[in-house]
Amino acid sequence: MPKKPKHAMSRTQRNALIAAFFFILMPVLVVLDHQYGGHLRQAIEQTTYADADFQKYHRKTFTVLEVIDGDTIDINIPDGKHEDTRIRLIGVDTPETKHPTVGLMYYGPEATQYTMRQALGKQVTILLDTVSDQRDRYGRLLAYVVLPDGRVLNAELIKDGFAYAYLSFPHSEFTTYQALMEQAIAEKKGLWANAARDDLPKWLRSKRPDLLRH
């Protein structure tokens, strides 16, 4: 019969050591979870949610069912408890038409009509951004919308003077969209033909105090 190693640990000793380890470790884990667990779980949930959005929407094609306003559309795929998915066009801001406090803004209806002409009832491809968040604070999906002819609706709205380049949040096309807006201003396209400074949204007047100073 082989001899037991001189310093071998018995099963009872090993079990006792394991129990002591967890007895000491568990209070530490509880404290760490109390202090940091919520943030960690939130980060994991957000990452999982973002990954799920990429798998579900990125580079996929859908039909535009409704145009809410110039920068917001619904596409034909369920999103949680909603029958459709609401898309907020990333990197752009069109004049409001239905805002509860701002009301109807200059060139808001024109921007909505533009988006309807370009996208309503059409097959569009959704592209998500790797720099920005995937959702806004209202839960809307932030995305670039590629039209059937390959043009990106977000960029076209700015280029043709129906939208402002949104300067409040980073995204991959931030610099490009700024340049498109400057070009539209220089060429007096769309709203820039006759807009007064008071017609601009407050956030833009704050970010760009130089605009339309006559």
pLDDT digits (tens, 9 = 90+) for 3-54: 555 555 566 666 566 555 555 655 544 444 455 444 444 443 344 456 899 9
Contacts of residue 203, Cβ cutoff 8 Å, sequence gap at least 6: 93, 167, 168
Intervals of CATH 2.40.50.90 along the chain = 59-207
Selected catalytic residue, list 66, 83, 96, 182:
96
Whether 96 sits among the annotated catalytic residues: the reply is: yes
**Are the CB atoms for 193 and 162 separated by under 8 Å?**
no
From the list 163, 171, 127, 122, the residue with the least C-alpha distance to 145 is 127
Whether 140 sits among the annotated catalytic residues: the reply is: yes
pLDDT digits (tens, 9 = 90+) for 86-99: 999 999 999 988 77
Neighbours of 173 (CB within 10 A): 21
Selected catalytic residue, list 88, 156, 173, 208:
88
Q: What is the CATH number of domain 59-207?
A: 2.40.50.90
Selected catalytic residue, list 14, 140, 182, 187:
140
The residue with greater pLDDT, 103 or 1, is: 103
